[in-house]
Amino acid sequence: MNVGYDGRVFRPLNNPPGSPTGLYRQRGNLIWAEFGGGRLHFGRLVGTCDETGTITATYCQLATDGSVTAGSLTSVPGRTPEGVLTLTEHWHRLDGSTGISVIEEVDASLAPASPLTIELAQPQPR
């Protein structure tokens, strides 16, 4: 599947409210994304895309509880019966956990806010 990812926005399958959303960018075979929302302040993904549209990347993300998660993934493109672009993500975190997630393209209006606009909680005095 020949896919151009630049400017596409993805969210977990079935678009649940409050889910993290990612804005993907592409130049040639280079891929990167910023994502946030829900339980995530923000995250970043960087990697490459092959001629089939499969993405191989690493990611890191900062959750609203202050935890950081990092790992690698391979995302394989597909389509729903309605023709919506999906990515089946086979992920492996640095802590050793693994899993499969499916994200789908959503309207660009759902793109995440820039990390520069996120208001973080101020540290409390001790």
What tens digit of pLDDT does each residue of 68-108 get?
A: 999 999 999 999 999 999 999 999 999 999 999 999 999 88
**Model pTM score:** 0.86
The number of residues making up the chain comes to: 126
The CA distance from 21 to 113, in Å, is 9
Buried b (16+ CB within 10 A) or exposed e, 6-44: eebbbbbbeeeeebbbbbbebeeeebebbbbbbebbbbb
What tens digit of pLDDT does each residue of 17-71 get?
A: 788 999 999 999 999 999 998 889 899 999 999 999 999 999 999 999 999 999 9
Residue with more model confidence, 109 or 57: 57
